Amino acid sequence: MKIIVPVKTNPDLQMIRIKNREPILEAVPYKVGDLDKNSVEAALQLQAAVGDTQVVALTIAEGNRKIKDTMKEVLAMGADEAYILSDDALTAADQAGKALALAKAIEKIGGADLIVFAEGSTDNYSGQMGPRVAELLALPEIGYAKKLTVADGKLTAERGMGDLIEVLESSLPAVVTVTSEINEPRIPTLMNIMKAGKKPTTEWTLGDVGLDAAAVAPQKAVLSNLAEEQQRKNVMIEGSAEEQCAALIDALIKDGVLEA
């Protein structure tokens, strides 16, 4: 059995500064997205349960020059090998272009019995990649699974539907997206971190998967990406602790934050 896990590397959100309501990404390090670690962990747990299973990580570089070092974290978690699709044209590509590139890369790898996506990415959380790739590969797709099992050539997934648990079954091959509540990603051991550098990593360009820049050209443009505008009132409260507390409560009541 082969499981492919497409993962996304994101700027470290804790390191991003905001200036003039815009994010400053210069010199911000990249890391594997937290939600993507859940999908990797889900694949590794299936590998342990089913046996005789290969877990393959796949990513798009998106301009990250140290993508190999970043992907070592996934290999250290337990993935058997990694594929990196790196091309300048992918930096500006939108979800449609990146999904096409992933689908072509999956075909070049030789396909998979199961493709496991995170429910969304840590940075923009569009949630589009899993369904788009499933459509391009003409595979069934189950979204937002919080439990997975594979047996007798079938995938069974559970997902929360408010106060109900929905159980779905699909033949393989299939695509599934998993939620963050499905597991707690493992922390690689020092030994596995050392072994990660020796695992096979393959880099491809768009040409290697049969695409060119025109094929992944963006179909839409982001017009604005601004942080919410905030205005501070700079209200200073003086007096004793009791007086300050009473004045603060009065101010919050006047602003409608608290009810009288």
CATH number, residue 151:
3.40.50.620
Q: How far is CA 33 from CA 87, 189, 257, in A?
A: 20, 19, 35
Is the pLDDT reported for residue 167 higher than 60? Answer: yes
Pick the range with the lowest mean pLDDT from 36-40, 59-63, 88-92.
Answer: 59-63
pLDDT digit string (tens) for 199-234? 999 999 999 999 999 999 988 887 877 777 777 777
Give the pair of three-digit tokens for residue 235: 């209200």
The answer to whether the CB of 42 falls within 8 A of the CB of 144 is no
CB 92 within 8 A of CB 19: no
pLDDT of amino acid 1: 94
- How many domains does one find in the chain? 2
Helices assigned H by DSSP within 95-223: 95-109, 129-137, 190-196
Whether the predicted pLDDT of 123 surpasses 80: no
Pair (156, 116) in one structural domain: yes
The answer to the question of residue 223 being in a domain is no
- 78 pLDDT higher than 70: yes
Pick the closest to residue 144 from 125, 165, 160, 129 (CA basis): 160
Between 83 and 238, name the one with better pLDDT: 83
> Domain for residue 201, yes or no?
yes
Residue 10's pLDDT is 81
Whole domain around residue 166: which residue ranges?
2-216
Same domain, 71 and 8: yes
| Mean pLDDT over the full length of the chain | 90
The average pLDDT across 117-137 equals: 90
Task: Name which residue leads in pLDDT, 20 or 177.
Answer: 177
> Is pLDDT at 35 greater than 90 in this prediction?
yes
Could you tell me if 139 and 12 lie in one domain? yes
Report yes or no on 248 lying in a domain.
yes
Residue 63 predicted with pLDDT over 70: no
Whether 240 and 200 share a structural domain: no
Minimum mean pLDDT range among 30-39, 59-68, 104-113, 115-124: 59-68
What's the whole-number mean pLDDT along residues 6-12?
87
CB 206 within 8 A of CB 100: no
> Is the same domain home to 240 and 144?
no
* 171, part of any domain: yes
Question: What's the pLDDT at 23?
Answer: 77
Same domain for 200 and 260, yes or no, is no
Same domain, 55 and 142: yes
131, 34: one domain = yes
Whether the CB-CB separation of 46 and 176 falls below 8 Å is answered with no
31 lies in a domain? yes
- Residue 157 binned pLDDT confidence (cut-offs 50, 70, 90): very high
Q: What is the mean pLDDT of residues 9-37?
A: 82
Specify the pLDDT at position 199.
Answer: 96
Residue pair 224/18 in contact by the 8 Å Cβ criterion:
no
Q: Does 222 fall in a domain?
A: no
My answer on whether 252 and 205 are in the same domain is: no
Q: What's the pLDDT at 58?
A: 97
In a domain, 193, yes or no: yes
Which strands form 201-204's sheet, in the order they lie side by side?
141-145, 174-178, 114-118, 2-7, 54-60, 81-85, 201-204
